[in-house]
Structure 1
Amino acid sequence: MEEILTLVASPAAWIALLTLIVMEIVLGIDNLVFVSILTNKLPEENRARARTIGIGGALIMRLLLLSLLFVLVGLTDPIFAVFGEEFSWRDIILIAGGLFLVWKATTEIHHSVDPDVEEEIDPKRAVVMNFGLTIVQILALDLVFSLDSILTAVGMTPHLPIMICAVIVSVILMLVASGPLARFIEQNPTVVMLALGFLLMIGMLLIADGFGVHVPKGYVYAAMAFSGGVEALNMLARRTRKRKGQMH
């Protein structure tokens, strides 16, 4: 309790908290995009519930990792080496998560370009299967994104209360933003392909990180911001042409 009161009275602690919240939100963007794309494939009445469960799972996972900091630190210790390259449990988790993300993004891109003919199955059973599979996939990626997020938090501050507050605030903001983002992606089909491209890139970066090749996150987010800006101009141009077409 005394430590918490000391942190509350410390301007440095508040600066660390705000910085960490911003970092957590930035690191959570890719997770949020993934959740939005997956839940948009569900019936509309199930989407909000799936987003809540998925993002709530991210919160539980991150708090659980924070409560096991001593285990988390141990995840970075090498457990074996291949051709002189050492690998830890963190590396294995990142490589596995990256491979899953690359596979999922590639599958979704293929489905968008050349949709398969779906088999005739019972609609109620299909809804249950799709809902369950969506939650499993979201939670699987939550583990990877949460690990990256918590390791960043541990590197930025030694104070556990600050890390917990930052995680809770950032996940709540993600939950609030998930609905509008999902609707925006649904209403703009071209954004889906751009988002899948981002996920494909992030998957490759996770794999590279697992193999010890660290790409500065600033480059990644700058590329995403540039691509998003170009797509925003394309959307504006399409709306302008559509408005002029209606006037004529």
Structure 2
Amino acid sequence: MFPSGANLLTVGLLVVLEAMLSADNALVMAVIVLGLPRALQKKALRQGLAGAFTSRIIATLLAVQLIAVLWVKLAGGVYLLYLAYSHFFSHGEPGERRRAKRAEPMFGLSAYWATVVRVEAINLMFSIDSILVAVAVSRVTWVVITGGILGLIAMRVIAAQLLKLVERYPPLVDGAFIIIAWIGIQLSIEYLDASGFISLEIPRTASLGLIVAIFAAAYIYARITGPVEHALDPAEEQATELLTDDRPA
């Protein structure tokens, strides 16, 4: 049986969304390993990201099952709305999480393995939003996992291009967070409908069409407003080199 057009479109949308949301997060994870000796940095990053792939699949499988639970729908919807609000209205120090700190032992682990675990944990934490969006957009397990994994691979393979893209064209990331807000609203409506508070069901085709429209509008707006120049600090430059260096560790 061949995948339907809607499923393939959903996979494509999830890949793009994952790439947009993960580009900056990948830079943060690369900065974390800068606290290790240079000879260990690339190895730690690759081991951390490899472990993150496994944990991502497990978390997605759990989310596919748990999203059917009403309170999980509500909690997920509220969380996504909070993320969108924070993106547009939070004015914290933008470079704080991109500052390299010296690697230290943790929970009985050496500094090296503590760093690997931190990379895995932060990757999973950063993945919560995209996992919630994926399971809200589609209940088909292979679609959710394929979209997420291909997005992560795209982020890893073309990290430098993605980083440059999201830094120079902020409306693309803004569009991703508008989609996150929409999915948060959708999950909240599904909760209210299932709980009997309202009678409203949003067709998945309509939701998918709106997501495509938001992506298109963000792209057009980004092209109209033009690129924004952004100078990388030394830590960001080192982190970008780590992400794009394909030589063996």
Q: How high is the TM-score relative to the length of structure 1?
A: 0.51
Tell me the number of residue pairs that the alignment of Structure 1 and Structure 2 aligns: 175
Deviations 1:117-157, CA, capped at 9 Å, x for gaps:
x9xxxxxx9xx843223223222222222221110111222
Aligned match of 1:83: none
Distance in 2 separating the partners of 1:172 and 1:107? 23
Write the distance in 2 (CA, Å) between the matches of 1:70 and 1:21. 21
CA deviations 1:52-98 (Å, max 9, x no partner) are 122223321221122212235547266xxxxxxxx67x85xx99xx9
Aligned position for 2:15: 21
- In the alignment, the residues of structure 2 paired with residue 169 and residue 150 of structure 1 have an alpha-carbon distance, to the nearest angstrom, of 13
- Counting aligned pairs with the same residue, the percent is 23
User: Given that residues 135 and 144 in structure 2 are in contact (C-alpha distance below 8 angstroms), is that contact kept between their aligned partners in structure 1?
Assistant: yes
Residues 162, 40 of structure 1: alpha-carbon distance in 2 compared, 3 angstrom cutoff? same
Q: Which runs of 5+ in 1 are unaligned?
A: 79-86, 113-117, 119-124, 186-193, 199-204, 235-248
Residue equivalent to 1:159: 140
Match of residue 229 from structure 2:
230
Partner of 1:76: 72
Larger gyration radius, structure 1 or structure 2 = 1
1:14 deviation in Å? Answer: 1.9
Is 2:14–2:151's contact at 8 Å kept on the other side of the alignment? no
Amino acid at match of 2:33: T
Aligned to 1:171: 152
Instruction: Provide the C-alpha distance between the structure 1 equivalents of 2:97 and 2:12, rounded to a whole number of angstroms.
Output: 37
- Structure 2: gaps (5+ residues): 87-91, 171-176, 185-213, 234-249
Larger helix fraction of residues: 1
| Rounded Cα–Cα distance in structure 2 between residues aligned with 1:64 and 1:233 | 34
Q: 1:59 to 1:233 in 2, by over 3 A?
A: closer
Q: Give the match for residue 44 of structure 1.
A: 38
Deviation by residue 1:194-240 (Cα, 9 ceiling, x = unmatched) = 9xxx9xxxxxx9xxx9xx9xxxx99xx999xx9x8222599xxxxxx
Whether the 8 Å contact between 1:54 and 1:135 is mirrored in structure 2 is yes
After TM superposition, give the deviation of residue 34 of structure 1 in Å: 1.0
CA contact (8 A) 1:52 1:175 kept: no
Shift of the 14–77 alpha-carbon distance from structure 1 to 2, 3 Å rule, reads closer
Partner of 1:145: 126
Q: In structure 2, which of residues 2, 5, 8 is the aligned counterpart of residue 11 of structure 1?
A: 5
Are residue 61 (structure 1) and residue 55 (structure 2) matched? yes
Q: Distance in 2 between matches of 1:73 and 1:34?
A: 32
SS of structure 2 residue aligned to 1:230: coil
The correspondence for 1:32, drawn from 26, 31, 53, is 26
Are 1:132 and 2:113 counterparts?
yes
Residue 237 of structure 1 is matched in structure 2 by none
Q: What is the rounded CA distance, in whole Å, between the counterparts of 1:161 and 1:139 in structure 2?
A: 23
Supply the RMSD in Å over aligned alpha carbons: 4.8
Number of the residue aligned with 1:245: none
Equivalent positions of 1:186-201 (< 5 A) are: none
Contact in 2 for aligned 1:54/1:139 (Cα 8 Å) = yes
Please give the alpha-carbon distance, in whole angstroms, between the structure 1 residues aligned to 2:65 and 2:114: 32
Residue type at the aligned position of 1:11? G
Q: Which whole-Å CA distance do the structure 2 matches of 1:157 and 1:31 have between them?
A: 24
Alpha-carbon distance in 1 for matches of 2:232, 2:118: 32
Using structure 2 for the length normalisation, give the TM-score. Answer: 0.51
Structure 2 distance, partners of 1:108, 1:54, is 17
